[in-house]
Amino acid sequence: MRESGSVRRSRGADPVIAWLLLLPAVALLALFTHYPAVANLVHSFYSTPRANHPSTFIGLDNYRNLVEDPVFWKALVNNLWYAFGTIPVSIALALLMAVWVNGRVKGRGFLRLAYFTPTILPMIAVANIWLFFYTPEYGLLEQSLGWFGLAGHNWLGSRDTALPAVMVVAIWKEAGFFMIFYLAALQSMSPQLAEAAAIEGASRFYFFRRVTFPLLMPTTLFVLVNAVINAFRMVDHIVVMTRGGPDNATELLLYYIYEIGFRFFDSGYAAALTMVLLAILAAAALLQFGFLERRTHYQ
């Protein structure tokens, strides 16, 4: 009937329809993402309004304070360690778990449920249980170390072990969740591939490295996006387990923003901190977006 290409076909009406389709999403995004982000940027140049000192323009003072604030630097460094520690380990474990429960391992049903528990139990609830695991003297970890005759340790109460201890909780939470996506991807792979490889005499590990893993790349990227976001977002267990202590050893950026904004009520400084977190996330997002966009054949 008409010439090829639905895109070319009706230039007159299409833009209107397109904008109508976009309208609800764009309106909500403008209200709850763009406007607050801009407002936040503006507020970061103003002092925090107090009763007898109304908010005034102070230029870069909030940022200057930031540079001089040792707790901020501590939180930043902690958060980077937290990200570098939790992201690769949780993704690797997720993959391992998925491969296992995808295979013919004994007790697959139980294992699936076990790996799935972190998705059902909210972090905030489970943090209290982890608190018991880490409790000195009679906590679960102490009791089990005791069976092996090992000395106890105050895991959350020492500066060197507190951050790794909360990272373990984050890994527990993340790996179980990511496992599902890997499992789904593995299930959709053709079993003939593996059979053919086995006949060829390729070892399972070789097959995994050369065939399975590359085929899982899209899933890995999908999971990676989530993992990066979560590395800067997941602070719920900090609220319960350490409140950033001891001596800021587990202080993370978002938790520090919450403290500054909602406990110290310094909204100007919180705005400057928020800008830093946004900058980090922006950098991470641009990097990932570069990856994702290059992969035009999603699915």
Site for other proteins in 182-211 (CB under 8 A): 183-185, 187-188, 200-206
158: left (phi over 0), alpha (psi -120 to 50) or beta: beta
- In Å, what is the CA distance from 157 to each residue of 124, 166, 199, 238? 19, 12, 55, 13
Q: Which member of 80, 89, 116, 211 binds other proteins (CB under 8 A)? A: 116
| Least Å from the CB of residue 231 to other proteins | 12
Contacting other proteins within 229-288 (CB under 8 A): 229, 233, 235-236, 239-240, 242-243, 245-248, 254, 257-259, 261-267, 270-271, 274, 277-278, 281-282, 284-285
How far, in Å, CA of 179 to CA of 102, rounded? 10
132: contact with other proteins by CB under 8 A: yes
**Site size toward other proteins, by CB under 8 A:** 143
Q: In this chain, which of 77, 96, 193, 196 binds other proteins, going by CB under 8 A?
A: 96
Strand locations in the chain, DSSP E?
none
State the Cα–Cα distance between residues 19 and 14, nearest whole angstrom.
9
Stretch that binds other proteins, among 56-64, 77-85, 152-160 (CB under 8 A): 152-160
Max Cα distance, the chain (Å): 83
Choice from 72, 79, 176, 231 touching other proteins (CB under 8 A):
176
CA–CA gap between residue 43 and residue 68 (Å, rounded): 19
Give me the least distance between CB of 51 and other proteins, in Å please.
3
164 contacts other proteins (rule: CB under 8 A): no
Q: Looking at the chain, how many residues does it have?
A: 299
Q: Which stretch binds other proteins (CB under 8 A): 56-64, 75-83, 118-126?
A: 118-126
Crossing angle of helices 159-187/70-102, nearest 10°?
Answer: 40
Q: How many CB atoms lie within 10 A of CB 164?
A: 13
**Bridge partners of residue 279, in order along the sequence:** none
The contact mask relative to other proteins for 47-86 (x = CB under 8 A, - = no) is ---xxx------------------x---------------
